[in-house]
Amino acid sequence: MDMKTAINKIPVGEVFGKQLFREVVRQLNPDYTECSINWLLGKLKNENKIMTVGKGKYIRIEEGKRKIHYTYQHSREYYEIERHIEENYPLVVFQMWELIQLNEFVNHQIAKNIIFVDVENMLEESVFDLLHMRYPYTLFMPTEEQFYRHRGAEDTVVVQRLVSEAPRPEEAHSSPLEKLLVDLFTSKLTGNLIERYEYKAICEDMFEKYVIDETKLFRYARRRHVEDDIRNYIKENTGIRLSV
């Protein structure tokens, strides 16, 4: 199978499903099995020739505009906290991210870091108690006023409840971009830590550089009741072309 011939039959920038891809492949080689078609889809994704934009939905990426999967080398303190939770609560479901991650996307650089730890329901207080003993500047689900009154002189740790249906990490416990983006539009605390005028650059840079699963993004946005807010903001303030 000439993979280049197969992908060239898919229009650039248009969402397609597995059925269309199956038809294209079998037009070129009728003997291709379902297993081989799945392998070819995976190979095209790994080579950044197509990317997933939702369950069973893909988009062909134009040559020279291919995106990568987001990864981030976190701070030493982040990894210390992650290990401390894993050692004491090996079965707990949690995600983490830190404010300085957004320095890649914002114009005005963030100096004081905040490490967010989102923990599954019913265990967030236990994780808070664990962290607070070692890190006195840990806060539990603070309001904006409580945060500014009690934050640490340098770094601060914020423990929150992990919302159900949050996009799952692809690497350890590091929150994916889809979650970070939605949380900017939902969290009163997070939303006020980043100036609103920075949102345009954040959205455009995330979508331009990295693979964003729009189905995961908007499923979580619906769960947080901000799907329309995010869609309208992207449509009215950015040059992003949504696929779903």
Position 66 confidence tier, pLDDT thresholds 50, 70, 90: low
Position 42 confidence tier, pLDDT thresholds 50, 70, 90: confident
Helix (H, G, I), strand (E, B) or coil at 199: helix
- How many angstroms separate the CA atoms of 133 and 120, rounded? 20
Judge whether 88 lies within some domain.
Answer: yes
**Taking 90 as the threshold, does the pLDDT of residue 241 lie above it?**
no
Judge whether 212 lies within some domain.
Answer: yes
The DSSP element (H or E) to which 87 belongs, if any, is: helix 76-88
Q: CA 169: distance to chain centroid?
A: 8
119-166 pLDDT, tens digit per residue, is: 999 999 999 999 999 999 999 999 999 999 999 887 899 999 999 889
For residue 213, the 8-state DSSP code is -
pTM for the whole thing?
A: 0.78
Domain span at 155: 76-237
Q: E strands, 12-154, where? A: 15-17, 50-54, 57-60, 94-98, 114-119, 138-140
The sign of the CA dihedral 84, 89, 90, 94 is negative
Looking at the fold, whether 132 and 50 belong to one and the same domain comes out as: no
Average pLDDT over the chain reads: 89
Q: What is the dihedral of CA 162, 168, 171, 172, to 10 degrees?
A: 40
Total of domains in the chain:
2
Looking at the fold, whether 147 and 55 belong to one and the same domain comes out as: no
Position 242 confidence tier, pLDDT thresholds 50, 70, 90: confident
